[in-house]
Structure 1
Amino acid sequence: MSAADPTPPSVLIVEGDPWVRDMLREMLLSVRCDARLQVCADGSQAINALSSKPDLIIAARELPSGDGLDLLRKVRAQGEKSALPFILLSERSDPASVKETLRFHPTEYLSKPLNFDKLRKRLEVLLLHAGEEVSCPIPALLPGVKLKDYLEQRRATADGGPLFTDVQQAIKRALNPQGLNLKVLEEEVRDDPQITAVLIAAANSAALHRDAPVQTLLQALNKLGSTQSMNLILGMTLKRSARLSDPLLTQHATRYWNLSLHTAEYARSLARMLDLEQERCYCAGLLHSLGDLAVLRSLQEWRLAGGELDEGQVQQSLGEFGAAFGSALRTRWRLPLSLRELIAAIYQLGGGVYSREILAMNLAGQLARLPADQGLEKVADSKTARLLKVSLPELSRLRKVENPEGKPAEPEPAPDSDLP
């Protein structure tokens, strides 16, 4: 393969973990946005994909239904493809495993968790001339496509919500001479719904899910480790519309983010008062508006592709698709069912017997949505407060602590009725 070749390179990515697979895809496209990608989840798919004659292969050694080393061995056995660039990724860094691999001359052998910068620099050498940049225009919308149809399509593939954290600064503050301090990193990114959701989902992926489900950000960071956590967070910044730039959409996103933060803080305070698991309740409160945020991010994609958008369309899209996007994301990302149940409780109580955590989340949702100029009597008299035996004076103290400036609460979004 030559970087001077005007034909966009064809790249085969083979990785079993969906989150690492997605990160590799985004990194590669950030280096060479016009690359033609073929992505496989296991070794048998990869063997079949060799018939497409890729220009570069990036493959994990540890794969479902196969071994990346077998794939490398097969490629090197093919005469005309013996020099094909092949980057092998492996969880094994012991001398014996490395020596076994080097016999087949991989272009690069990288151990996991991946060195993000080293991989990127290697891709730049393989795919670009020195100083060369490849720009790719955003594909225009198909003629006649309607916003509703566009969102219906995006519901199954949306990347989630926008980022609110300055990721580079967060990582910089968490780095010290000994490495990345996960506790500091957790404090830096804990208020970002997208980062929290992605890391919890990644920590519960099949590759890592061997124990009890991960349900908090700190648990996820500890399960993933410093390098993998940092790679996943940095990988989120590579995606288009990772941050909202449209003022209209930014205004709505800030409103939902504030609502999420208020709900999370109320949930944690109630959990503390009732001797419940505080961080799990906080995470559930933070994630409950992720569907609305995902809609707003998709609306920016719509506008970037040439679609028109006004305030009425934004409001209508949020009302029609916020719940559906949230439910689809939580299911596709396989967030733990118990965490999804807490999120669902913020909107409404289902039937049956309620746990104290479920009731606490429902009460947190009521408090967060309550306008500042409205009294707490109705909330204190609600079924939820009565079951929890939380009195009007206790609610008043909570409200004073969590909303000391008397700012009005955000309007209640459309019920997320199809949760969890």
Structure 2
Amino acid sequence: MAAVVLPAVPRVLIAEADPASRELLEQVLSGVRCDARVDTCGEGQQALDLLAHNSYDLVIADWELPGVDGLAILRGLRQQHRTPPLPFILMSRRNDSASVREVVPLAPMAYLTKPLNRESLTQRLQGLLLSGSEETSHDVPVPGPGLTLVAFLERRRELSEGAPLMTDVQVAVKRCLNPTGLDLKLLEEEIRTDPQITGVLIAAANNAAQHQGGGPVQTVAQALHQLGTGQSMNLILGLTLKRCARLSVPCLADYAKRYWELSLHTAEYARILARLLDLEPERCYCAGLLHRLGDLALLRCLEEWTQAGGELDEWEEVGNSLDQYGAGFGSALRTRWRLPLELRELIAAAYSLGGGVYSREALVMNMAAQMAHLTEHEGLEELARGRTARLLKIGLPELMRLRRK
């Protein structure tokens, strides 16, 4: 059964009567594709109504649904002769050969037998949703006479995989394993400096929290707690399998290191300032870490360009591309991953304050970003006289102490 080709933001319908199985499917799906929009229902007629009024990219349904069963739903969809056929995963407690023979002519993507096992379900969905999309829906356009670098970046902006990994994931996970399992507190310390892991975990955790009625997740610690050990580890390890997870072009790797270090400095300054002002330090830290996500994602796409045979001027074209597209890549990623609005506002404040009334956390982010851009021996006096410092009521002595930490 072939892998499904999903768009940048896929919409998935889960039709499952059993609440525990439905919750398991939601959690695993959000772990495999944190960007997916997921609708759920518990009976066949509800599924038909949702299918009649919405356009889905994947349906996962139980054969034994009350009312209209999952097989009847699949049969009805196939009678519509949609091209290509709507990807459909059928689940059932039936594992006899007669049932399988009944299902095969309807060409489901997969036929999963119950009870569902989290690990095997995760592996199966990863194989179906990641491997195929890695080679098809996110396929890199081939450079040639008809495709310029500008056109390539325009097309990749809405489909980029995000930033390259700046943490050795395999080593991080091994350090956090002990006889009782994975230590989430240690894992947080290992991965908290990686923008890509941070963004993906927060995106997946908010997807899960939304369906469970929880509040917005805005820090790595909150994300790990929401996702739990197994789902967190699967997500983190899965990132290493993606194309261009690591940069191999020296020039691009140098740029990535520079932007990563700028993000780390901004994050650390934001955390210290937030503590000084009795604000939320970890939320400010995450905003600082993520505020250069777009530049890093762009560098990853430039690596894809070179791997596909495109030529790249190592300095002029890279610098121009960062100036022209870095902010757009970041905005597209934060929107597609549906990061919480509060977190996005803090990230935006790192660039500028604009007009209006500002929260103290927004002022902290703006100050932290300004400090991260200063060289070792310049600018503190001017920064202390600036608007942000005045609004925060922070003077030169506080900034000097902050610089020394």
The verdict on a shared fold, with TM-score over 0.5 as the criterion, is yes
For residues 312 and 127 of structure 2, what CA distance do their matches in structure 1 show? Answer: 41
1:327-366 map, 5 Å: 327-366=331-370
Distance 1:80 1:322, change over 3 A: closer
* 1:23-47 Cα distance to aligned partner (Å, 9 max, x none): 899xxxxxxxxxxxx9615559967
Q: 1:247 aligns with which of 247, 250, 273?
A: 250
- Is residue 216 from structure 1 mapped to residue 219 from structure 2 by the alignment? yes
1:303 and 2:306 correspond: yes
Q: Which amino acid aligns with 2:355?
A: G
C-alpha separation between the residues in 1 aligned to 2:214 and 2:246? 34
One of 15, 28, 33 as aligned partner of 1:22: 33
Using the alignment, how far apart are the partners of 1:171 and 1:257 within structure 2?
A: 21
Q: What SS does the aligned partner of 2:170 have?
A: helix
The answer on whether the counterparts of 1:214 and 1:336 sit within 8 Å (CA) in structure 2 is yes
After TM superposition, the structure 1 stretch with the greater mean CA deviation from structure 2, 255-264 or 378-387, is 378-387
Offset at 1:119?
A: 5.0
Q: CA deviation at 1:354?
A: 1.2
Structure 1 CA distance, aligned partners of 2:88 and 2:306? Answer: 33
Which residue among 267, 272, 275 is the counterpart of 1:269? 272
Please give the per-residue CA displacement for 1:375-415, whole angstroms capped at 9, x wherever unaligned.
301110111111111110110011111xxxxxxxxxxxxxx
The 1:190–1:71 alpha-carbon spacing in structure 2 relative to 1, beyond 3 Å, is farther
SS at match of 1:238: coil
* Bigger fraction of residues in helix: 2
Task: Label 1:247 to 1:12 Cα distance change in 2 as closer, same or farther (>3 A).
Answer: closer
**Corresponding residue for residue 111 of structure 1:** 117
What TM-score do the two structures reach when normalised by structure 2? 0.75
Per-residue deviation, 1:323: 0.4
What SS does the aligned partner of 2:350 have? helix
Corresponding residue SS for 1:225? helix
Q: CA deviation at 1:350?
A: 2.2
Does the 8 Å CA contact 1:75/1:84 hold for their aligned counterparts?
no
Give the Cα separation in 2 of the matches to 1:221 and 1:160.
20
Could you tell me whether the CA contact under 8 Å between 2:3 and 2:127 is conserved in 1?
no
- Distance change (3 Å), C-alpha of 1:141 and 1:342: same
Alpha-carbon distance in 1 for matches of 2:361, 2:221: 19
- Counterpart of 1:376 in structure 2 is 380
**How far has the Cα of 1:49 moved from its partner?**
6.4
Structure 2 unpaired stretches of 5+: 7-11, 15-25, 37-55, 62-69, 129-138
Kept in 2, the 8 Å contact 1:87–1:109? The answer is: no
* Equivalent position of 1:94 in the other structure: none
Question: Can you list the C-alpha shifts for 1:333-366, whole angstroms capped at 9, x where unaligned?
Answer: 0000000000000111122111111111110011
Name the CA shift for 1:260/1:138 in 2 (closer, same or farther; >3 Å). Answer: closer
Match of 1:76 in 2: 100
Structure 1 residues 114-153: aligned runs within 5 Å: 114=119, 119=124, 140-153=142-155
Q: 1:81: Cα distance to partner?
A: 4.4
Counterpart of 2:58? 40
1:291 to 266, 290, 294: 294
Offset at residue 140 of structure 1 (A): 3.2
Question: Against the structure 1 CA distance between its residues 238 and 109, is the aligned structure 2 distance closer, same or farther, given a 3 Å change threshold?
Answer: farther
**Which amino acid letter does the alignment assign opposite residue 231 of structure 1?**
N
* Deviation for aligned residue 1:291: 0.2
**Letter matched to residue 281 of structure 2:** Q
What is aligned with 1:411? none
Q: Is the 8 A contact 1:264 1:284 kept in 2?
A: yes
Taking the aligned partners of 1:235 and 1:306, their CA distance within structure 2 comes to 26
Give the AA of the match of 1:214.
V
Distance 1:117-1:342 versus aligned 2 partners, 3 A rule: closer
Give 2:191's match in structure 1, choosing from 186, 189, 192. 189
Q: Is the 8 A contact 1:75 1:81 kept in 2?
A: no
In the alignment, the residues of structure 1 paired with residue 390 and residue 152 of structure 2 have an alpha-carbon distance, to the nearest angstrom, of 44
| SS of match in other structure, 1:244 | coil
- Output the CA distance in 2 between the equivalents of 1:23 and 1:361: 26
| CA shift for structure 1 position 210 | 1.7
1:227 to 226, 230, 243: 230
Q: CA 1:331/1:122 → structure 2, altered by over 3 Å: closer, same or farther? A: closer
- 1-side partners of 2:349 and 2:108: how far apart? 53
Structure 1: runs of 5+ lacking an equivalent: 2-8, 26-37, 62-67, 89-105, 124-136, 402-420
Q: CA deviation at 1:175?
A: 1.1
Any idea what SS the aligned residue of 2:33 has?
A: helix
Contact 1:256 1:292 in 2 (8 A): yes
The one-letter code matched in structure 2 to 1:399 is R
Identity of aligned residues (%): 54
Q: Is contact 1:58-1:87 (8 Å) kept? A: no
Instruction: Tell me if the contact between 2:269 and 2:402 (Cα under 8 Å) persists in the aligned partners.
Output: yes
Deviation (angstroms), 1:209: 5.3
Contact 1:115 1:227 survives alignment (8 Å): no
Equivalents in 2 of 1:177, 1:290: separation in Å?
35
CA contact (8 A) 2:244 2:303 kept: yes
Cα deviation, 1:160-186, whole Å, max 9, x if unaligned, reads 000011111111111111111111100
Aligned to 2:168: 166
**Number of the residue aligned with 1:176:** 178
